[in-house]
Amino acid sequence: MNAQSCLAALALLAAPLAAQKGSTRGGGQVAIGPVAYRFIPISLNLAAAHAALKGVRAFQLKGELRRNGPPIEFELTGLPPGRIYMLKLRRKSGAGLDVWAATLQTEMRIEAFEPVPGGRLQLRLSGPLTGAVEGRTVHTTWEGAIWATFSGVPDRP
């Protein structure tokens, strides 16, 4: 295969990803402690079914929490009916990297779950968070409601 056909093949593979980018709509607001942020979704995908989860399909929501200053990167993997599997909140700061994580008491309530392309996921978030902010360990809370539309839903195996 020559270089030109390799580039053409790569362009064909990248086209679905480029088309998918920006196809997720959504919004909402989340307060971390007393500070409110706008939620801007980047992607919402449904994971392929996994045998260990016995037919339950996890979703992965990525986005940003925005206010003045650097945005907080938001990544949440959840399982119906409302279990947080993984939560990452990260923001670059003068002290390096601020991060927050869920605790056992951190809550996510699924208010809408339509796992089809263009379908809606709506979440209510509350409870404690723990983190390292500006080099200090912090214990805070989050509260809010966010929503996004699914951009990727793989077929069941």
Could you list the pLDDT tens digit for every one of the 157 residues in the chain? Answer: 443 433 333 333 333 333 344 479 999 999 999 999 999 999 999 876 666 667 678 899 999 999 998 999 999 999 988 999 999 999 998 878 999 999 999 999 999 999 988 999 999 999 999 999 988 999 999 999 999 999 867 665 4
Domain count of the fold of the chain: 1
pTM above 0.95, yes or no: no
10 within a domain of the structure (yes/no): no
Residue 91 lies in a domain: yes
For residue 98, the enclosing domain spans 24-149
The helix (H) or strand (E) run that includes residue 92 is: strand 83-93
Whether residue 9 is contained in a domain is answered as: no
Encode 104-135: b = buried (16+ Cβ within 10 Å), e = exposed.
Answer: eebbbebeebeeeeeebbbbebbeebebebee
88 in any annotated domain: yes
Residue 5 counted as domain residue: no
101 inside domain: yes
Whether residue 109 is contained in a domain is answered as: yes
The gap from C-alpha 23 to its chain's centroid, in whole angstroms, comes to: 14
Is 14 part of a structural domain of the chain?
no
